[in-house]
Amino acid sequence: MPDDLKNSQLRTLQYFYVDGSFEFGLGLLCLILAVFFYAETHVQGWLSAIVDSSLVLVMIGGFWLINRLIKLLKERLTWPRTGYITYNRQNDRTRGWRIALGLVTGGLVGALAANLATTPNLHIAVLPLLSGVLLGFVMVVLGWRTSILRFHLLALLSTVLGVALAYSSIENIVGLAIYYLVFGLVLFACGACVLRTYLLKNPLPSKERPDEL
């Protein structure tokens, strides 16, 4: 029985990732970034300055879009099949610490990337390497927190892709565009497999809602 209780709690914590909507959302964000970096290599003059400075807007817009996409998928596919859950919100202090940690880490990685990317005698493309390792690390943390194996596999794939692109004599920004394109497509494929399994396991129940209290 204690094992049943533990498994029930674990399944409840994993429920957010049960339908692959997270992978679809993150995959979409990666594809948006791939288009952004591809555009960066092809625009020149004043347009280039605008594209360069719009990365923050692209990220904010991307996060808004993936939130919408995940909510839409869950509303249409998941909640009518296996139910609805809201998770505990972090308190303001924890959220503040996390945001601060994220900003400091982002700033340090950004500064390191800018420094390494302009180092003259470096023969590897540092930006795809850093992206691959960083996103890989995020996936490892996610896998560790949720005990979901596929996140560890995605972490491995992200790191291998980043390292491969770093040593492939491709220019930094082109490497980034390729990294986000490939990893975005991998995330989409992974999300599609997870969603297919979920839909096969959980057919839509009859129209009548089971709320009989």
What are the residues binding another protein (CB under 8 A)? 1, 4-5, 8-9, 11-13, 15, 75, 79-80, 82-89, 205, 209-213
Compute CA 174 distance to the chain's CA centroid, rounded to the nearest angstrom: 20
7 versus 115: smaller Cβ distance to another protein: 7
* Cα–Cα distance measured from residue 166 to residue 87, given in angstroms and rounded to the nearest whole number: 39
- Alpha carbons within 13 angstroms on the beta-carbon side of residue 38 total 12
Q: How far is the CB of 28 from another protein (least distance, A)?
A: 24
44 versus 206: smaller Cβ distance to another protein: 206
Q: How far is the CB of 192 from another protein (least distance, A)?
A: 23
149 versus 204: smaller Cβ distance to another protein: 204
* Cα–Cα distance measured from residue 98 to residue 9, given in angstroms and rounded to the nearest whole number: 24
Cβ–Cβ < 8 Å for 134, 109: yes
- For the chain, how long is the longest CA-to-CA vector? 71
Q: How far is the CB of 213 from another protein (least distance, A)?
A: 5
**DSSP-based three-state secondary structure for 211:** coil
46 versus 208: smaller Cβ distance to another protein: 208
Q: How far is the CB of 102 from another protein (least distance, A)?
A: 23
What lies within 8 Å, CB to CB, of 184 at 6+ separation is: 27, 28, 29, 30, 31, 33, 34
Q: How far is the CB of 83 from another protein (least distance, A)?
A: 3
Place of tokens 């498994």: 7
Q: How far is the CB of 165 from another protein (least distance, A)?
A: 39
Find the length of the chain.
213
Cβ–Cβ < 8 Å for 119, 127: no
64 versus 84: smaller Cβ distance to another protein: 84
123 versus 209: smaller Cβ distance to another protein: 209
